[in-house]
Amino acid sequence: MKSIITWGIGYGKSRELAETNAQLDARVDKIKIKKLDKLEIERCDLTENKKELAKLKGEFPGIILQNCAKSDVISVLAFGITEDKIFIGKGKAAGKKAEEQATYEARKAAGDKLESLQQILAEAPYKKDQYGCAIVALILVEKV
């Protein structure tokens, strides 16, 4: 199993259009992400690769977090990495609060076995008369 992390931002006159544009930017528009049972996975490399995502079609396990609003929006996934697992923390809000929340959740889940902490963040700054949408995602795919 390998993991691909991605992020995207989008804008539009409606929330739906902003969300669609963010999904296109993140390259998750052609796949369905099946929610993980738990916010933990077996340890693997976290790779950002939008080109590889653009080639995928179908359903894959993972997590997608999006935040759409007519203000500054941020979505964050934090990964607490231990010897054999990756624990996922999530946060969505305006400003540093999202980052702090995701980091706190990942650290707490990994506990004293935490070896390192990584994160992926998307930020859509406010644009007048536009909805902004920030998406981050982790997709698990079979190694080929």
Which tokens in the block code for residue 68?
A: 């759409």
**Residuewise pLDDT in 10s, the chain (144 residues):** 899 999 999 999 999 999 999 999 999 999 999 999 999 999 999 999 999 998 999 999 999 999 999 999 999 999 999 999 999 999 988 767 889 999 999 999 999 999 999 999 999 999 999 999 999 999 999 865
**CATH number of the domain where residue 121 is located:** 3.50.20.10
Return the structure tokens found at 57.
């079609």
- How many angstroms separate the CA atoms of 108 and 115, rounded? 13
Q: Cα separation of 34 and 105, whole Å?
A: 21
Going by the DSSP 8-state scheme, the letter that residue 112 receives in this structure is G
C-alpha 37: how far from chain center: 16
Q: Write out the residue range of the structural domain in which residue 62 sits.
A: 2-141
Q: How many domains does the chain contain in total?
A: 1
Q: What's the predicted TM-score (pTM) here? A: 0.91
